[in-house]
Amino acid sequence: MSKKCVLAYSGGLDTSVILGWLMDRGYEVHAVYVDLGQPCEDQEAIRKKAENIGAASVRFIDVKEELCRDFAFPVMQWQAKYEGVYLLGTSIARPLISKKILEVAKEVGATAYAHGATGKGNDQCRFQLAAEALCPSIEMIVPWRMDEFRKQFPGRTELIQYCEKNNIPVKASINKPYSSDENCLHISYEAGKLEDMSVNGLELVDFGMCVKPQNAPDAAEEVTIDFEQGVPVAVNGNKLSAYEVVKTLNEIGGRNGVGIIDMVENRFVGMKSRGVYEAPGMTVLYEAHRYVEQLTMERELMHLCDRLAPEVAELVYYGFWYGQKMDALLAFNREAQKSVTGSVSLKLYKGNVILNSRSSSNSLYDEGIATMEGSDAYDQNDATGFIRIQGLPGRVAGKVMPRF
């Protein structure tokens, strides 16, 4: 009797090869394509390919709304960016993929979970840490960490040759063998010629969501986004679901060249790697959300959130979504976002996001207090005592240990 295995199947180069490889080793393989709103993929072609290779079943699970609502938006509300720039589009999706894979494994009676992440990357950590947190008894099959598989397929070139030999269609090619991962939040590009630091990534990559900034329209495009308790609920006055918000802003931001970055990042496993990312909709949301926070969130709470945001980014990037620390931070976030309600108008122009206007019924901005004109709302004499008290430790230390 064949041992049952569930494969996280993208239809790309690695998982197409791995599907056949697992079958050759006697596994009954159930391919699961988690629909994350991949903008550039032909799902019907992917289904047929898995069937033709010989999968015992091929399942497509739509999680676009859940991904945006329950995973991407909470991370965006934290303003969490890994190493200051990366919006975590790939990282955010991995725990959700593992959750859905395990649901299918339970349904079909599979005891093993296979994926195509390499032994050098972050995704192997994200998939496995999430899976083991949800189902500690699951057996992980990771071909790229197995000598037998790597001997047969030392690199992407051999995988591509294998697919060409077996008439398995894939997007990668010998001439342009960078790897891409996509969902409705972003598309990432790495490997191949991008491993050469002298290569201009923006010139090399054929972007799937964005036009290159220099090719964007010569006139700025205005967009308005409404938030309720930190959640984006409308674009240009139209009430939308979470996924519809992201999809709409991908279109608007993408045609204006917004959200492209090229970075060298520190992977969880230790090495530095180069990635090119495009995330037009989420980039617009991060910017708009911050402007509402600036109006509505108290100083000390905002500063605490800013100190904790890198912690959130690391947890997501490393793969610790299902853990007590992340649970606590998400619960904190729900409380912190209660006042973040308002509307922001932005202008998008050749890769730039420019603030146009902002408003909120919860605004803490008081023009009467903040004005540089004459006002009775703030007594400037009060600042004298405030500064004297704040400066007391410094004055005492300055007498004891003079600095000059």
Nearest to 238 by CA among 224, 217, 255, 250: 224
Report how far residue 157's alpha carbon sits from residue 14's, in angstroms, rounded to the nearest whole number: 11
- Residue 161, amino acid: Q
Q: Is 176 left (phi over 0), alpha (psi -120 to 50) or beta?
A: beta
Selecting among 10, 16, 98, 123, the annotated active-site residue is 123
Task: From the candidates 10, 14, 126, 360, give the one annotated as an active-site residue.
Answer: 14
Pairing of strands 187-190, 179-182: antiparallel
Residues 6+ apart with CB under 8 A from 279: 87, 89, 185, 186, 209, 259
**Among 59, 94, 126, 156, the one annotated catalytic:** 94
CA 276 vs CA 79, 86, 181, 201: distances in Å: 20, 10, 11, 7
The answer to whether 403 is a known catalytic residue is: no
Whole-number Cα distances in Å, 4 to 112, 138, 364: 7, 12, 58
- What 3-state DSSP class applies to 35? strand
> Does residue 70 carry a catalytic annotation?
no
How far apart CA 4 and CA 287 sit, in angstroms, is 46
Catalytic (active site) residue 181: no
- The single residue of 179, 188, 339, 343 carrying the catalytic annotation is 179
Q: How far apart are CA 14 and CA 7, in angstroms?
A: 11
Active site residue 274: no
Q: Where are the alpha helices (DSSP H) in 54-122?
A: 64-66, 73-77, 89-108
Tell me which DSSP letter residue 326 carries: H
Which residues, including other chains, have CB under 8 Å from residue 150's CB and lie 6 or more apart? 144
Distance CA(217)–CA(254), nearest Å, equals 11
Q: Which residues are catalytic?
A: 14, 94, 123, 179
